[in-house]
Each structure stands twice: as structure tokens, then as C-alpha cells.
């Protein structure tokens, strides 16, 4: 695949069977994971098991990208050390997920993003972004991806599409390399809405792909075709 063309659907999953299912359909253009996703998918086994799972997924989806979340968020040095360790696993298509700031608003994270991208040539997916202004700062720091948690923005009573539009305008206006990932899908309708609002990519909860795909009138029409075909045998 030409890397200059970014296809729009990342699968939000740590389940290899789910990922394989949508790869076979041509509907998986990357994978995002985090500890919450792995727990939801029933994954256990500690750091070595997680490393094995991530390497298997990375190999499975090549040349598409896999985002792996840092578990350290205490200070710049611990985050840098963990990011370098993950990259040392040897999968060339792994990106590092770094939150926009620390759990209490610590500012080390943008320094980490800037160093990883500019000094170590490590791609970063900056996560937990809730506003266009946060996304712009992450993009200026050099993040390859900026993940706007649109579902959570909507939960707070704001229209995430407006934040997407503003952020896309800013990235395009200043020629910034960052791609917008619209994350935290709550409904199937979010996927088309967010792409049309300016997201380059949407992280999709797998169950919503089936919701998008299967339409009652399509089922009715196919059933009619089959019934009529039987009449002409």
C-alpha cells in the first residue's frame, strides 16, 4: 500500500480473531489497543504475554500500523525508556500511544512526543485529546497521529464534529503532518459523521462494522432474489 494514502478504518481491538475477520474483508487499515481494550477482550498474562500478543498482531496486519499504549506516565524519562523498549521488540509498524498530558496535568508528555518523533524517529499516536486546541499542540510537538476522543467529547455535551472541523482546518492550514484519529466510538453513525467532519481515520469498535454493513432492506432484497430464483428452476 502507498503510505501516502491513509485508509480510514482502524480496528479498536486486541482480539486477533476479530482483527483477522476484518482484514479478510479489507476493512482493517490499522489497529489501536490499550490496557482497557485488552481487559475487555479478556486478555491476561502480564507484560511478556502482552508483548507476544502485540508482536503477533503487528505481524498479522503488516504493512498497517499498530498503536501500543505506554503504561508509564510518571515522568519523561520513564516514558521514553518504555517507548524505546517497545520499539526494540523489532516490529517496524508499531506506534507509541502517549496521552496529551499526565494524570494530574503534568506537561512532560509533549516533550516526550517531540523527542520520540524528532530524535528517535519513533511514530507517536497522541491520545486522550478532548479539544481542537489540545490536538493542535500535539501536532506542533510532532505527533504522527492525534487521537480526538470524540465519543467522550459528545458525552460532555459538546459536538465533536465541530472540534474535528477546527482541528482539520488548523492541520491543513499549517501543513502539519499529523493525521486525526477520531476515537471512542459510541454509535455506528459516529463513523461516517466523523470522517465527513474531517477525521483522517476512525477507530471502530468491531460490532459497529456489522451495524453499518447489514441493512434490513438489503436482507429483504437478497431473500426476494433467492426466492424468485427458486421459482425459475
Active site residues: 97
CA dihedral 136, 75, 81, 46 (to 10 degrees): -100
First to last CA, the chain: 44
Three-state secondary structure of the chain: CCCCCCCCEEEECCCHHHHHHHHHCCCCCEEECCHHHHHHCCCCCHHHHHHHHHHHHHHHHCCCEEEEECCCCCCHHHHHHHHHHHHCCCCCCEEEEEECCCCCCCCHHHHHHHHHHHHCCCCEEEEEECCHHHHHHHHHHCCCEEEEEHHHHHHCCCCHHHHHHHHHHHHHHCCCCCEEEEECCCCCHHHHHHHHHCCCEEEECHHHHHHHHCCHHHHHHHHHHHHHHHHCC
> In Å, what is the CA distance from 108 to each residue of 81, 103, 133, 210?
14, 11, 17, 40
Amino acid at each position: 500500500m502507498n503510505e501516502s494514502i491513509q485508509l480510514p478504518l482502524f480496528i479498536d481491538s486486541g482480539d486477533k480473531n476479530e482483527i483477522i475477520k476484518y482484514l479478510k474483508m479489507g476493512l482493517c487499515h490499522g489497529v489501536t489497543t490499550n490496557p482497557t481494550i485488552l481487559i475487555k477482550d479478556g486478555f491476561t498474562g502480564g507484560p511478556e504475554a502482552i508483548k507476544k500478543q502485540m508482536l503477533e498482531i503487528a505481524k498479522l496486519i503488516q504493512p498497517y500500523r499498530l498503536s501500543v499504549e505506554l503504561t508509564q506516565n510518571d515522568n519523561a524519562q520513564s516514558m521514553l525508556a518504555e517507548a524505546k523498549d517497545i520499539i526494540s521488540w523489532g516490529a517496524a509498524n508499531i506506534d507509541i500511544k502517549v496521552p496529551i498530558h499526565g494524570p494530574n496535568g503534568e506537561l512532560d508528555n509533549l516533550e516526550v512526543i517531540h523527542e520520540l518523533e524528532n530524535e528517535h524517529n519513533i511514530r507517536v499516536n497522541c491520545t486522550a485529546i478532548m479539544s481542537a486546541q489540545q490536538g493542535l499542540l500535539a501536532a506542533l510537538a510532532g505527533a504522527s497521529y492525534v487521537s480526538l476522543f470524540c465519543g467522550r467529547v459528545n458525552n460532555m455535551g459538546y459536538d465533536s464534529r465541530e472540534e474535528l472541523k477546527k482541528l482539520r482546518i488548523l492541520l491543513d492550514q499549517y501543513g502539519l503532518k499529523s493525521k486525526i484519529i477520531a476515537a471512542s466510538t459510541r454509535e455506528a453513525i459516529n463513523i461516517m459523521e466523523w470522517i465527513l467532519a474531517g477525521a483522517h481515520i476512525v477507530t471502530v469498535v468491531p460490532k459497529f462494522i456489522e451495524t453499518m454493513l447489514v441493512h434490513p432492506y438489503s436482507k429483504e432484497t437478497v431473500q426476494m432474489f433467492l426466492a424468485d430464483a427458486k421459482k425459475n428452476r
